[in-house]
Amino acid sequence: MNITNPKKMRTLIRKKEWRDQTAGMIPGFVQANLVILPKKYAIDFASFCVRNPKPCPLLDISSPGEFRTYLAKDADLRTDLPRYHIYKNGKLDQVVLDLMEIWQNDFVSFLLGCSHSFEAVLSSSGIPIRYQEQGINLCLYSTNISMQSVGAFKGNVIVSMRPIPMEKVTRATFISARYPKTHGGPVHIGNPSLIGVDLNIPYIGDKPEFLPGDVPVFWACGVTPQHVALNAKIPFMITHAPGHMFVTDYLLEDLE
């Protein structure tokens, strides 16, 4: 299907005509991770995100009960993502296609930066994205890099790892650092063990093949805040389903 703009994409999703991943669709436009929490936990989670901006870049917070976002006029956060995960006490309870039935007036929605936009920028700057070339999933790792904790929210940073040709590491660093809203520059370059990572033990995803001269480069990953919120065993929490993100009307450059 040839979808040319974010509004069209969201309309198809709202009509349930698009139920697949949004990852990779409409390149150039920022896609956001969604976390919805009851108001009771919202200030602590906001505080946690502000204190850990690399893994948790806040793009928007909505008022309690509000399902609009300034990131896309007329969008409805209850219907405009193709798939939602509902967690109870830190466990996946249900997968739903919209939130109309379960929406409550004390829900606070957080939209967070996502590495997909950021990969598009690297890619268009001549930096190869190995996992895409190799047709596998992006590889994430747990690290020993601890975060500022707030109340029940705490843990270590989860990172994504991309093998980068050594002569392009500076470029990848310089370019990604330009975009703090999608995790900014790398948290580590070169030696996995220094951040507690064994390349053979992913947190999730597939270990990519390294080409000669490739160096492992680690970026903070948007999975971190979800992982932290789940570990906090909040009684009730909603997120997007992996890969099924919210498509905004903004280009990455608009948000910086």
**What residue ranges bind a copy of itself (CB under 8 A)?**
39, 42-44, 46-47, 50-51, 58-64, 70, 108, 148, 150-151, 180, 256
Measured between alpha carbons, how far apart are the two ends of the chain, in Å?
31
Residue nearer to a copy of itself on the CB measure, 27 or 151: 151
**Residue 85 corresponds to which tokens in the numbers above?**
């995960």
Residue nearer to a copy of itself on the CB measure, 150 or 241: 150
Instruction: Name the minimum Å distance from CB 68 to a copy of itself.
Output: 10
Instruction: Name the minimum Å distance from CB 99 to a copy of itself.
Output: 19
Q: Distance between CA 15 and CA 79 in Å, rounded? A: 9
At residue 171, the 3 state secondary structure works out as helix
Residue nearer to a copy of itself on the CB measure, 83 or 117: 117
The closest alpha carbon to 99, from 71, 144, 51, 66, belongs to 66
Instruction: Name the minimum Å distance from CB 158 to a copy of itself.
Output: 20
Q: Distance between CA 90 and CA 114 in Å, rounded? A: 22
Helix (H) or strand (E) holding 85: strand 84-88
Instruction: Name the minimum Å distance from CB 36 to a copy of itself.
Output: 13
Instruction: Name the minimum Å distance from CB 148 to a copy of itself.
Output: 5
Residue nearer to a copy of itself on the CB measure, 43 or 95: 43
Residue nearer to a copy of itself on the CB measure, 70 or 210: 70
Return all residues near 148 (Cβ < 8 A) that are at least 6 apart.
Answer: 48, 51, 52
Instruction: Name the minimum Å distance from CB 51 to a copy of itself.
Output: 5
Residue nearer to a copy of itself on the CB measure, 8 or 171: 171
At residue 98, the 3 state secondary structure works out as coil
Q: Distance between CA 126 and CA 104 in Å, rounded? A: 46
Instruction: Name the minimum Å distance from CB 203 to a copy of itself.
Output: 25
Residue nearer to a copy of itself on the CB measure, 32 or 241: 32
Kindly write down the DSSP assignment for every residue of 5-60, as one continuous string: SHHHHHHHHHTTS--S--TTSSTTEEEEEEEEEEHHHHHHHHHHHHH-TTT--EEE
